[in-house]
Each structure stands twice: as structure tokens, then as C-alpha cells.
Chains A and B, each alone.
Chain A
């Protein structure tokens, strides 16, 4: 079985982003592997270690620095990587999930993948759309927010986490697209020897423009701004006081 794993290069989760000129300021900002994509890579590598998969291919869309992100994925255990090169901003401004899904579709068909694992969402755009869109384009079954996955026969049993609780879904047979949620696993650290060995693994670069996909964003981004600063909370002395504040200040009661 060949597994394709999507990895996205995003602003590091610990960075405090700033908005400048109606856009998120990316200069000198630390970028890393999207945490949910990391979980997807970990799951794929575990399947390979269990001998359920023969090959794990990491795929990333973005500028040339994506090779660093791909190298981390390779250091975690992927066999090879494909870099779809584009200089468009991948945080929704210049490149949106619809286009990314199309790009992935081309690669999936070319590589004849049996399973596609993606992170449930990118922490920069928080869209969560690439997975479902890709499944739709491929005509494959999809399960999102996977918290547990097991191969069963020709297919899989996946537990997905929703706000209402856990749902168990059976995929009768592969191929399929699964997006990974936080509790699926705890990703391993890339050890130093593996980081060095990852340098020798193959990374193929394809220009995004060469794949015959329309990359233009369909949703114009009108405005980007920081949320208003959170005001401090207050304590109230009595229930009457609380009601008064809810009615007159917060205006949530008539």
C-alpha cells in the first residue's frame, strides 16, 4: 500500500503573529510543519512500521523552503517527498484549498496512492477543506477528524471526534482520504541521525503551474485584522448585579 501524506508549511504555533498592511506579517517569522500534518505523518510511518504500508510519500505545496518541511517529514520516516513549488502565499491569501485539492488530485493519480492522510486543518487558515474537497474530486470515501484508525480487511475502521462525541465509521475498502485530529497519536521527535539520513532521500520538485490547475483564489480576501484585545473579566457581587450586567452591558438579555 502506498500512503500519500500532505504536509503544510505554516507559521509556527508559538509565534505571535502580527497584521501589517492588511496581511499577516511573515517576514522573519518562524515556520514549521503544521502540527496536524505531523500527526498524519506519524500515523503513516506507524502503518509502515506495522508493515501495513510499503511506501510513504510526503507532499507539500509552497515555496522553496518547503524542502525543509519535507525534510522533517522524511526524518520522521517518510520514504520520499514531492514538492509542488509555488511562490503564492499558502495561508489562504493567494492559494486556497480548492486549488490545493486539485494539485493533490493530480499527484495522487500520478502516484497511484491507496490512502491519503492529511492534517484536519492548517493552523494558519483553519479551513479544514482540502481533505474533503480532495475526496470529492477523487470520488473516494472520506473520514475527517480521525482520532483512531485501524485497517480492517480491505478497508478501515475510523473513530472520528465531533463536538457531540465520537463516531465510528467503517470504510469498506480503500482507497480513501482521512484527515487526522489531535488525539490520533503523539508524533515522534525526528532524531539527529534520521535528520541527516533524510538529506539522502529523494525529493521531486514539480512547478505548480505545470500541473494544469487553475491556482487563482476563488474567494477574494477582503480584510485581515487582529481581533479586538480581550478585556479583563470582572467578578460580580450578586445575581442581581450579574443580570444587570448581562442586560445592560453585554446586551445579551432582553
Chain B
């Protein structure tokens, strides 16, 4: 929550100084220029506020909110204490359609917009970020990667499963490769006839590895080419040679498993390559851009949950010195500040969503909002 403060405050201050609003309806202006449009965007005839959503999006939000409040809220604390996502919750996520949000209906998905998916992640995060992270990674990273770059056969094979019963993990990071993702050491050696690859290596900090039925794995098929050998694979979790290690004992998001993942001579059919060999680096960079918006939705959901669902009601209830503590100006300054910053963040996030949906550049906005 506190990490949001500095970036937003500094962006807003910078812009106030330059007399430019940081956000305007329909498009963002560049920070470094004063009222001249860097983007020659065509404003559509109809403009609408960023915080006004379509009927589909509102219905999605209401449906997710209701489910999260009624089914998830009662057991959040227990799941956190047990450090485990309950199987019935995972099943409910599939049953409710939260795991195939952007997947087309022909593959049993919910065929919603990206903004709807972010709204859903936000609403789940308000109640339980651990559950939300699973939904977020699954939808915005894995499902979308398959949709964007998977061959038709790969899509037919995986999308229905991803929408209805198979959770997934995004396997990129390694012990020596976090921010420097391209320094990965996991290798994928092609068989002599090219019909399969043999994977060897260890991934670290892989979210939801315990629950996943499939891994979107990044491995280098040709280390001599450096990062241009990195290839994305869909690896079935049941494949021989995969070992999911013990979940990390984290301080937070405990119900979301974060595990080491070892691949020992794991054979993966060549048909399971996502997109083209050697383009994995491109895919992962691209998909992580969207992932940033999704994760921002999660943070905003957490912040809103803290302020609006827990702190404010308590402030209005707790009485000291004869009145509710929420009536004291000292408290009011604080929660007004928080509410304003959360609002700024959410508007930034939904704007990034809209830019993406419009097919416009959104990388800068996505990075800012994360």
C-alpha cells in the first residue's frame, strides 16, 4: 500500500508544477510536455468517465463481489493460517467462470473484456489477495499468452482446460534470474528429430505451483543465441521429472503457494511450444506488460478493502473521548489522503485498461500503475 504513495504523489506534484493534468478523459498526456498532444489520438464522439463502466463490467463486478463476500470472506483467515488455498475455493473459481474470463465462449470461457477481468481481480483482492493472485496470473499472464501466441491447435488443447479445470503457473524466475530474466539457465534441448525437447533446470518463487495443472515455462532452447533462444512451453504438471518443492513460508499472501520447481529431463512434445522457438523473450516481456495492470488491480483492491471495508467502518464505530474516532480531524486527514491516493491509482489503472483495449500504447501507463 505505501509503495503507491511516492510514485503517485511525485507524478501529481510534477504535473501540477507543469500545469498539466496527469489524466484526462480518453488519453494521457506526456509528462514532459505542456499542453501539446504527444499522441495524435482521435477522440471518439462519445467520451465517458474512466470510472463509469459498461453494463457487462458492472455485472461482472457485482457478481464477483457477491461471491467473494459470501463464499470467500468467511474462510480467508483460516486459509491464511493454514497457508493453503482450499480445493473447494479453487473449484468454485472455475465454476463461477473466474478462471476463463477473457477466453472466448467457444472454449468455455466467459468472453469478457480485459477491464472486466481487472475488476474481478480487484473485487477478489478486496477480500483475499492470495486467491486473487491465482486468478490474476492465470487470466492475465497465462490464458492471454496462449490466446495471443498459441497456435490454433494449442489453443484448442489448452484454453478449454484453462477455463474449466486446470490452474496454471507462470514459470520465469530462477535463483539467479529475477529482474534479469534473460539470464535464465533452464535449458530445453531439442531431440535429434526435433519432435520433443528435454527440459532441465530449476525455477524459483513460482506462484501457485502447488495448484497448477500446467506450467507456462520459459527455457532456453539455444543458449548460444543468448536470450534469443528463450522459448515458451506449455508443460503439463503431470509430466515425469517435474518436482514441486515446498512452498515458501511467507509473511503475507500465505495461502498462495510460492514454490521452487525442478525439471529433471522432462520431455515436452514439440507441439507444446507456445508460438515460435526463440521468441519466448518477446512473449514474456509483452505479457508482463498486461500483467502489470492486473497486479495493479490487485493492489488497488487490497487498498480499497483495507480502507473502505475495514478501517472506515471501524473508525465510525470506535468511540473515544465521546465521539467516533472517524470524526476527529486528525483521522479525517489520514483517510481523506488515503482515499484520494487510491482513487488516483484506480483511475490510472482503468485508463491503462482502456488504452490496452483500444489497441493503443499502454506500456508506460502500465508500468506507472504497477
Residues of B within 8 A of A193 (CB): 97, 100, 105, 108-111
- A48 CB to nearest chain B CB (Å): 19
Do B97 and A71 touch (CB < 8 A)? no
Please tell me which stretch of B60-68, B172-180, B307-315 contacts chain A, meaning at least 4 of its Cβ atoms lie within 8 angstroms of it. Answer: B60-68
Name 19 A/B residue pairs within 8 A (Cβ), A-sorted: A68-B59, A72-B59, A75-B59, A189-B67, A189-B96, A190-B63, A191-B95, A191-B96, A191-B110, A192-B60, A192-B64, A192-B98, A192-B110, A192-B112, A192-B120, A193-B97, A194-B97, A196-B105, A199-B56
Residues of B within 8 A of A68 (CB): 55, 59
Residues of A within 8 A of B67 (CB): 189
Given A68-B55, A189-B96, A191-B96; A196-B66 close (CB under 8 Å): no
A72–B63 CA distance with the chains assembled, in angstroms: 9
Type the 1/0 row for B94-108, where 1 means its CB is closer than 8 Å to any CB of A: 011110110001001
Q: Select A197's contact among B55, B64, B105, beta carbons within 8 Å.
A: B105
- Number of B interface residues in the complex (CB < 8 A): 21
Number of A-B residue pairs with CB-CB distance less than 8 Å in the complex they form? 47
A194–B105 CA distance with the chains assembled, in angstroms: 10
A64–B47 CA distance with the chains assembled, in angstroms: 23
A138 contacts partner chain B, Cβ-Cβ < 8 Å: no
A196–B112 CA distance with the chains assembled, in angstroms: 8
- B72 CB to nearest chain A CB (Å): 12
Residues of A within 8 A of B59 (CB): 68, 71-72, 75, 195
A24–B235 CA distance with the chains assembled, in angstroms: 58
A75–B67 CA distance with the chains assembled, in angstroms: 15
Question: Which residues 96-135 of A sit at the B interface, judged by CB distance below 8 A?
Answer: none
- B106 CB to nearest chain A CB (Å): 11
- B57 CB to nearest chain A CB (Å): 11
Given A189-B66, A189-B67; A195-B60 close (CB under 8 Å): yes
Question: Which residues 103-127 of B sit at the A interface, judged by CB distance below 8 A?
Answer: 105, 108-112, 120
A190–B56 CA distance with the chains assembled, in angstroms: 13
- A97 CB to nearest chain B CB (Å): 28
Type the 1/0 row for B52-83, where 1 means its CB is closer than 8 Å to any CB of A: 00011001100110110000000000000000
* Supplied contacts A191-B63, A191-B110, A196-B112, 4 more A-B pairs, CB within 8 Å: A68-B55, A195-B59, A195-B110, A196-B105
Which among B55, B67, B97 has the greatest number of chain A C-beta atoms within 10 A? B97
A164–B59 CA distance with the chains assembled, in angstroms: 40
Name the residue on A nearest B164 (C-beta). A193
Name the residue on B nearest A195 (C-beta). B59
Residues of A within 8 A of B98 (CB): 192
Residues of B within 8 A of A71 (CB): 55, 59
Q: Select B97's contact among A72, A192, A199, beta carbons within 8 Å.
A: A192
- B108 CB to nearest chain A CB (Å): 7
Type the 1/0 row for A63-75, where 1 means its CB is closer than 8 Å to any CB of B: 0000010011001
A190–B111 CA distance with the chains assembled, in angstroms: 15
Name the residue on B nearest A12 (C-beta). B62
A199–B59 CA distance with the chains assembled, in angstroms: 11
A190–B67 CA distance with the chains assembled, in angstroms: 9
- B360 CB to nearest chain A CB (Å): 25
